[in-house]
Structures are given as structure tokens and as C-alpha cells.
Amino acid sequence: MKVRTDARRAAIVEAAAGLFEEFGYDGASMNELAKRLGGSKGTLYGYFESKDQLFEAVVRKFATGHLSEAAANLEADNEDVAALRETLLHFAEGMLRVLTDDTRAMACYRMVMGEAGRSDVGRLFHESGPTEAIAALSKVLAAAMKRGLLVRGDAHVTAQHFIALVPAEIQSRLFEREPKPIGRTAIRGMARRAVDMYLSGALPR
């Protein structure tokens, strides 16, 4: 029973992703989703209590799950700068991987950008990955500051700076019609440059 339940939930999230992509957050309805899945709206609410909760599941699966995964694998306390650099590099690569070669993730990001000024979709998006990633990264940076590896400051703010710096080289992809996938070697190069740029301003003089 659990396998069927999990499979059904995955099918709902997959169908909802297509619906949100086609109609946007406000235009998508649970009625239309139920019609596409061939079930009842009551069944959908058995899995997701609201459209907000369903959207969060879509965002986590296709757009911010990589952030949660990267944050979960962060080494909180690094003994030296070399270890810290490797931790940040691993995080940056995980963050960039989906942004560079996942078309559904790109579609989700575009939808959020288009809807953010008209609904709560931006807040929901941010709470579905970026917020917890920033919190996890803040702990890493705070520990590094305490060890004297980084200049002391507001770890939360510097975590935001780092996360904003990582995708700097690929921002234009959000505006391209069909951006081409980027290979792992190029991704690692982007991650390394972002980490080096961050550390050049964050290491003690």
C-alpha cells in the first residue's frame, strides 16, 4: 500500500509541475489537476492540504531540492581554510548542478519570477529551500569565524552573499529560450571561481 501511495503522490507532484508551468501559480487549480489525473479533488487533498502545500512539494522536487541536499551534506566545523574551501566548493557544485542542466527547474524558477509580484509564490519558493540552505550555511560560516578562519561578521548575511555569488555566471540562462546543458567540468570551474571570489574578501588579512 505504501508503494502505491508514494507512487500516487509522485504522480500528483509531476502533474502539478506541468500544470503550474502551463498556467502559473494563480491560474492552476486543484479541479484541473484532478481532471488531468482522472481522480477527485478530495483525493488530492488527502495528499496535500492546500495548493500552497502542493506548490511547495513541486518546488522542492524540481527547483530547490538540490539546495536542501547540498545543505544537509555541509560539514559544519572545518579545521582549516583548505577544508572550508572544499566544503563550500561541494555546496556550490550541488547548487549549480540543477541550475545548469534541469529544464523543469529552470521553468519553475521562471514561473516564480513571473508570479512573485502577484501572489505569495515568492515567499513559498524561498521557504522551500533557500531559507534552510542559508541557515545551514550560516552555521558553517559562524564556526569558521569562531575558529578565526574567516573575518568575524554576521554569518547569516555572509551566507546570503555566498549563495548570491554562486550562480553569478549563469543568471542569463533564466532569460534564454532553450539554454544548453553545462558539463560537470564547467560547473566545477564556476563553483571554484565563486568560492575563490568569496574567500578573497572573507579571509583575514
Q: What is the pTM of this model?
A: 0.77
Confidence of residue 3 (pLDDT cuts 50, 70, 90): very low
Distance of CA 27 to the CA centre of its chain: 23
- Count of C-beta atoms within a 10 Å radius of residue 6: 10
At residue 19, the pLDDT reads 92
Sign of torsion, CA 125 129 131 137?
negative
C-alpha cell at 200: 578573497
- Tell which residue, 16, 7, 15, has the closest CA to residue 51: 16
Distance of CA 156 to the CA centre of its chain: 17
CA distances for 59 relative to 29, 48, 199, 200, angstroms: 16, 14, 30, 33
At residue 2, the pLDDT reads 45
Which amino acid, 28? A
| Cα gap 129→60, rounded to integer Å | 7
Per the model's pLDDT, the better-predicted residue between 95 and 199 turns out to be: 199
| Cα gap 88→166, rounded to integer Å | 10
Count of all residues that appear for the chain in the document: 205
The burial of 58, by beta-carbon neighbours within 10 Å (0-12 exposed, 13-18 middle, 19 or more buried), is given as: buried
Mean pLDDT of 14-26: 88
| Cα gap 174→8, rounded to integer Å | 31
C-alpha cell at 180: 544548453
**Per-residue pLDDT tens over the stretch 96-130:** 887 776 677 777 777 777 777 777 778 877 777 78
End-to-end, the C-alpha distance of the chain in Å comes to: 60
**Per-residue pLDDT tens over the stretch 40-95:** 888 899 999 988 889 888 888 877 777 777 777 787 789 999 999 999 999 999 88
User: For residue 179, what is the DSSP state?
Assistant: P
At residue 102, the pLDDT reads 67
At residue 100, the pLDDT reads 75
**Per-residue pLDDT tens over the stretch 132-180:** 889 989 999 999 999 999 999 999 999 999 999 999 998 888 777 777 8
Confidence of residue 4 (pLDDT cuts 50, 70, 90): low
Q: Which domains does the chain have, with CATH numbers?
A: 62-202 (1.10.357.10)
- What phi and psi, each to the nearest 5 degrees, are found at residue 89? -65, -45
- Tell which residue, 76, 104, 120, 133, has the closest CA to residue 18: 104
- Count of C-beta atoms within a 10 Å radius of residue 19: 21
